[in-house]
Structure 1
Amino acid sequence: MEAPICIRPAILADAGIISRIIERSIRIGCALDHRNDRQRVHAWIRQQSPEHISAWLADPQFYLNIVLLRDTPVGVGMAVANGEIVFCYVQPECFRRGVGRALMDDLEGWMRIRGAACARLNSTRTGEPFYRRLGYGECARAFTHQGLQTLPMSKSFV
């Protein structure tokens, strides 16, 4: 039987582990997107440092959550009160175990409580099928950002 998923708001003490989860998810889980190009990986990861995460945790407009399986952090997500989902990262060994869906449900719930009518995000090629399964659809043309193909997607809450 699968361990229960526990989600809680992230705290300042989590900044380091959040950064490590993101880095590992990017390096391993998003290889299709960055194709192991060191410059792309570095540019992507550098924006997710513990210092960046600490600043986000101090800002009430941001909500960071963390998923625990057997008391081990395995996923993180971040949203903005205006309806933007900034990221959803899961440890690769936890893909397809409900962790990402749980993160997204929690982020969407937080945004709904704050009055957002929809959620918006920019998906990588790796993430697109996952977000489509959650009801997200393309809302603008794909574009390239820092060498990565990005697809704007949205989901209405009404």
Structure 2
Amino acid sequence: MQAPICICPATPADAGIISRIIERSIRVGCTLDHRNDPQRVSRWIDRQSADVISGHLADPHFYLNIALLQDKPVGVGMAAGSGEIRFCHVQPEWFRRGAGRALMTDLEGWLRIRGVPRVSVAGTGSGVAFYRHLGYREAAPALAGQGSDHVALHKRLPPPE
């Protein structure tokens, strides 16, 4: 039996590990999206450097979380107070083991208690099935940007209790 996944709010000290998890997830887990094109990979990763992540961690309009399995970071996520999931990345060896779902549940909970009625996410081809599995539905045609094509998805959240 696998140990439980713990989801914690990220701290400023986590900026480097968050950036490294994102980079590895993109390089290894999203090859269908960037097709190993060095320029596309670089554009995508550069948007998630430790300095950029540090800025998000200092901004109260963003919430970053980190998934830990036996105190080892295995995934990260970020939501904006506007209702947008900015990213959810999991180390490739931890795909399909519950970390992504746990990260998303926590991000959605953070948005829900703020009264956000609808969550949106721009999913890549690699991530669309994951988001659909969590109840997200397509909201518009594919978008181009961030080094890969994206599909706009959304999900209604129940009101806070």
TM-score interval, smaller chain: over 0.9
TM-score by length of 1: 0.98
Contact 2:41–2:147 (Cα < 8 Å) also in 1:
no
Question: Per-residue displacement from partner, 1:15-40 (whole Å, max 9, x unpaired)?
Answer: 00000000000000000000000000
Report what 1:6 is aligned to: 6
Unaligned runs of 5+ in 2: none
Large movers: runs of 4+ above 4 Å? none
Residues 23-38 of structure 1: pairs in structure 2 closer than 5 A:
23-38=23-38
Q: Secondary structure of 2:65's partner?
A: strand
Question: Per-residue displacement from partner, 1:61-98 (whole Å, max 9, x unpaired)?
Answer: 00000000010000000001111000000000000000
Give the distance between the partners of 2:154 and 2:35, measured in 1 at CA. Answer: 26
Report what 1:52 is aligned to: 52
Q: CA deviation at 1:3?
A: 1.2
Give the distance between the partners of 1:117 and 1:93, measured in 2 at CA. Answer: 33
Residue identity opposite 1:98 in structure 2:
G
* 2:75 maps to 1:75: yes
Residue identity opposite 2:153 in structure 1:
M
TM-score by length of 2: 0.96
Report what 1:119 is aligned to: 119
Contact 2:136–2:153 (Cα < 8 Å) also in 1:
yes
Residues 123-134 of structure 1: pairs in structure 2 closer than 5 A:
123-134=123-134
* 2:99 maps to 1:99: yes
Contact 2:43–2:147 (Cα < 8 Å) also in 1:
no
% same residue: 63
Report what 1:65 is aligned to: 65
Count matched residues: 158
